[in-house]
Amino acid sequence: MKKVSKALLTGAGAAVVGAAAATAAAYASTKQLVKIAMDRQQPRLMEREKTRDQLRGYLNCDEFLDEMEAGAERLETTPHDTVRLTSYDGQCLVGHWFACNAPKRIIIAMHGWRSGWSSDFGTIAPFWHKNGCCVLYAEQRGQGSSGGEYIGFGMMERYDCLEWIKWVNSHWGQELPVYLAGVSMGATTVLMTADLELPSNVRGIMADCGFTSAHDIWKHVAENNLHLSYNIHGGVADQLCRQKIQMGTKDCSTVASLKNSKVPILFAHGTSDHFVPVDMTYQNYQACSAPKTLLIVPGADHGMSHYLEKARYEQAMLDFWNTWDDRREEK
């Protein structure tokens, strides 16, 4: 009997030690993943192209990448003004102001996660300029030249967007209509402003392949691209997120913001997006209480909708502006 009891105790002890080791390993791996997601200073793991591709789940398209690179170089070398402001929490935010002759409207453009203002908007910038758009390309906090140690997945950045609206209106008045535009995390950023108090000259939001929340996109990437169980990692990830930015992964969502949207929305997304699933835009569209337009591009991967169906994409923007430039929503 004593031998049996000893064996049971030994087995139980081994199980406890094994569970503790598994928990420690899960915590360590989750901590690394949250660093990849949020920290300005990327872990060395992200230097590997294979790791980046695994996270994003990209389909390779050299022509698209070449066009992005050429567009970024063209935009960066176009004469413009670099501007700065102080965010609500004291961070220095950097933007790039491109004026145009006889402007019809102003666009405030927010780029995506671990991306950049010129790469995300370089290909569409000539279309905007040709159609009378002055553009403020913001550098998101925790990235590029802007301050901040962490990327907030739209939860902090939506308030930065408000500061850029104030900057635009203080320098250029409120006569011109203003549109907020974003790609990927930038789309989530502008969508999360939808229920905030916006000036009356903010006439619409244009969101391309935005995700619904930090929790949702982390869960999707973990389970679909990294093949990890988010049930094991999710609670720790939320805790670590809260430690970094005093907000949890579920504290803000585009769905919640869009239920009280005060401005019209143009949604765009590709059906073959391997990073942000198109279903998230369907959720956003369904939740949106304001006038809305949906542009779905068959076969387009992440951020590729304009590349694959340029004429249709640009016509959707023209129609959106023609509808809302001279109209104001009830506040």
HEC string of the chain equals CHHHHHHHHHHHHHHHHHHHHHHHHHHHHHHHHHHHHHECCCCHHHHCHHHHHHHHCCCCCHHHHHHHHHHHHHHHHCCCEEEEEECCCCCEEEEEEECCCCCCEEEEEECCCCCCHHHHHCCCHHHHHHCCEEEEEECCCCCCCCCCCECCCCCCHHHHHHHHHHHHHHHHCCCCCEEEEEECHHHHHHHCCCCCCCCCCEEEEEEECCCCCHHHHHHHHHHHHCCCCHHHHHHHHHHHHHHHHCCCCCCCCHHHHHCCCCCCEEEEEECCCCCCCHHHHHHHHHHCCCCEEEEEECCCCCCCHHHHCHHHHHHHHHHHHHHHCCCCCCC
Residue 313 lies in a domain: yes
Predicted local distance difference test score (pLDDT) of residue 29: 80
Residue 44 lies in a domain: no
Which of these, 123, 135, 136, lies nearest to 73 by C-alpha position? 123
**Residue 234 in contact with residue 215, Cβ under 8 Å?**
yes
Predicted local distance difference test score (pLDDT) of residue 59: 59
Looking at per-residue pLDDT, the higher value among 272 and 331 belongs to 272
Looking at per-residue pLDDT, the higher value among 232 and 304 belongs to 304
Q: Is the torsion defined by CA of 136, 109, 145, 165 positive or negative?
A: positive
Residue 53 lies in a domain: no
Predicted local distance difference test score (pLDDT) of residue 60: 67
Predicted local distance difference test score (pLDDT) of residue 97: 98
Range of the domain at 72: 61-213+252-324
pLDDT tens-digit map of 151-179: 999 999 999 999 999 999 999 999 999 99
Q: pLDDT tier at 54 (50, 70, 90 boundaries)?
A: low
pLDDT tens-digit map of 98-109: 999 999 999 999
Predicted local distance difference test score (pLDDT) of residue 229: 86
Residue 102 lies in a domain: yes
pLDDT tens-digit map of 245-289: 999 999 999 999 999 998 999 999 999 999 999 999 999 999 999
Overall pTM > 0.85: yes
Strand partners, 105: 133
Give the C-alpha separation, 71 to 63, whole Å.
Answer: 12
Q: What is the mean pLDDT of residues 310-330?
A: 90
Residue 66 lies in a domain: yes
Give the C-alpha separation, 245 to 214, whole Å.
Answer: 12
Total tally of structural domains belonging to the chain:
1
Residue 32 lies in a domain: no
Q: What's 300's domain CATH number?
A: 3.40.50.1820
Give the C-alpha separation, 31 to 36, whole Å.
Answer: 9
The tokens 């997945």 sit on which residue? 153
Q: What is the mean pLDDT of residues 5-14?
A: 46
Give the C-alpha separation, 124 to 168, whole Å.
Answer: 21
Percentage above 90 pLDDT, the chain: 78
Please state which of the ranges 20-29, 213-222, 232-241, 286-295 shows the lowest mean pLDDT. Answer: 20-29
Residue 192 lies in a domain: yes
* Residue 38 CB neighbour total at 10 angstroms: 20
Give the C-alpha separation, 42 to 215, whole Å.
Answer: 20
Looking at per-residue pLDDT, the higher value among 6 and 159 belongs to 159
Q: pLDDT tier at 45 (50, 70, 90 boundaries)?
A: low
* Single-letter amino acid code for the residue at 39: D
Residue 153 lies in a domain: yes
* Predicted confidence (pLDDT) at residue 71 exceeds the cutoff of 90: yes
Burial class (CB in 10 A: 0-12, 13-18, 19+), 307: buried
Q: Is the torsion defined by CA of 198, 193, 85, 178 positive or negative?
A: negative
